[in-house]
Structure 1
């Protein structure tokens, strides 16, 4: 199990196997078919407790579907719902948290797992290639819309301090297509898109690709819409602990890009930041005690 087509057909798979399942397994199947959004974030023990069967019955149910264990079934469920849940459904999923501190623990643990997963999945040669492209591009366009705007702002702010040729494409006075209108074959476009994927981000990258620009995507899967357009893809986990998508791992990757570019331009940025420190001091940009 695990291909994209299998993930999309998970509900059909459960329906197809239903008649051959045991009585307890059928109870699980019926619950998942109706409440797959909630089941995707339950442990085997919690799912069993919810429907009134043992944890071992839940594990055998996963085996009956062709999975080697429940965690793989859970992962497929999470992939299935990632782009389909409405905000209302995500809020409904969050009602099981018992206290404020439980929320803190759950969210921080999920973010830790997202960073660990990103470290395992990101391709080192792709990362190095992106650094080379950042340094050789005539102009760099960063496209981050909706929730990805925070990552785009962060990446463009620091890259512009180092490279001075970065354009942030985001909603503002001018239309987003006007901001990327002059993109060409010597330019690099970095698209940031996480579930629920922004259709406009895909369209902007599609336009840039048609103009001959190099395309890099920061996204959560090689199967995400913008990854299909990209010359290089940096995979970052953004699995949600609740109704809010996690931006911790993609922000960490953006931070790594900035640091790596900075290390390649060490001498130039040392002179630049010396001058910048003088300006900050003269105009009292920061509090100094």
Structure 2
């Protein structure tokens, strides 16, 4: 899929005003972030007015900024799907075991993932979560399973952990009273979800600590996060093997099972589950 605006910018660039050239330079460099930014945020990043952004989009042939965003969003979704499909088609055509290829890839990914930044930010994350009054966890679409896993691992020993989900009630009802004592742990990999980005921005705005587990520093989830857990991989990966590894390690580090109070809480929960025939 060809992006219309790239050819339009290239064709019209010499005739652009100084303001339009500033916008064009920013968009050509960071257009993959556009689906996650408001028109005001793009204006702030380029030091121009929102009205100038709107006029720029019209100049390129779009009704406005929203239509411009949609084209980039559709491109990102289609590009990710095609890349993933092509990778697995190549596996099938090779004639080798798909299971073996997946195991080999995951082994390489795990061997590459640890670097100095990840180790430092892992320790910072453990300390921040242990200090937080309330810990909120969010991961949507494909990342929901990782978020649910982290919630269940932490909830075994902690009673201040909350999983934010869509479709049951309004997330904003649950976070209306968050403050600087609270923490958000967000999880997301390409293709990123705009709703997750908006929740991170809300927590950041209200002074809460924000931690993100994502795939690269240019991820829109990382922009408003205080701490980023980003594996140092060079092998292409969709992140879930690394994510499960990090989440499991976090739960072990955070839940100090030698603390008598934590042990008592865990034992009470286990007793309740057994008494009510939930566990066998």
Give the TM-score range, shorter chain. 0.5 to 0.7
**Which residue does the alignment assign to 1:46?**
none
2:260 counterpart (255, 267, 279): 267
User: Separation in 1 of the partners of 2:234 and 2:103?
Assistant: 12
User: Separation in 1 of the partners of 2:195 and 2:258?
Assistant: 33
Q: Does 2:217 match 1:222?
A: yes
Helix, strand or coil at the partner of 2:185: strand
Structure 1 pair 236–264 and aligned structure 2 pair: CA distance change class (3 A): farther
Deviation at 1:231, TM superposition (A): 1.1
Question: In the alignment, is the contact (CA less than 8 A) between 1:238 and 1:248 conserved in 2?
Answer: no
**Which residue does the alignment assign to 2:160?**
165
Question: In the alignment, is the contact (CA less than 8 A) between 2:114 and 2:232 conserved in 1?
Answer: no
Question: In the alignment, is the contact (CA less than 8 A) between 1:142 and 1:190 conserved in 2?
Answer: yes
User: Separation in 2 of the partners of 1:279 and 1:260?
Assistant: 25
Structure 1 pair 195–265 and aligned structure 2 pair: CA distance change class (3 A): farther
Q: Does 2:162 match 1:147?
A: no
Deviation at 1:99, TM superposition (A): 7.3
**Which residue does the alignment assign to 1:207?**
202
Structure 1 pair 285–239 and aligned structure 2 pair: CA distance change class (3 A): farther
**Which residue does the alignment assign to 2:10?**
none
Return the TM-score normalized by structure 2: 0.65
Question: In the alignment, is the contact (CA less than 8 A) between 1:114 and 1:237 conserved in 2?
Answer: no
Residue ranges of structure 1 left out of the alignment (5+ in a row)? 1-11, 13-80
Helix, strand or coil at the partner of 1:162: coil
RMSD: 2.8
User: Separation in 2 of the partners of 1:173 and 1:277?
Assistant: 27
Question: In the alignment, is the contact (CA less than 8 A) between 1:184 and 1:211 conserved in 2?
Answer: yes
- Residues 188-235 of structure 1: CA deviation (Å, up to 9, x unaligned): 111111111111111110111111111111111122111121111111
User: Separation in 2 of the partners of 1:231 and 1:121?
Assistant: 17
User: Separation in 1 of the partners of 2:129 and 2:139?
Assistant: 17
User: Separation in 2 of the partners of 1:107 and 1:237?
Assistant: 19
User: Separation in 1 of the partners of 2:127 and 2:272?
Assistant: 31
Deviation at 1:253, TM superposition (A): 0.4
Return the TM-score normalized by structure 1: 0.63
- The count of corresponding residues between Structure 1 and Structure 2 is 206
**Which residue does the alignment assign to 1:234?**
229
**Which residue does the alignment assign to 2:170?**
175
Structure 1 pair 240–153 and aligned structure 2 pair: CA distance change class (3 A): farther
- Residues 245-286 of structure 1: CA deviation (Å, up to 9, x unaligned): 341111110111110011266322322233333333333323
**Which residue does the alignment assign to 1:127?**
122
User: Separation in 2 of the partners of 1:150 and 1:237?
Assistant: 22
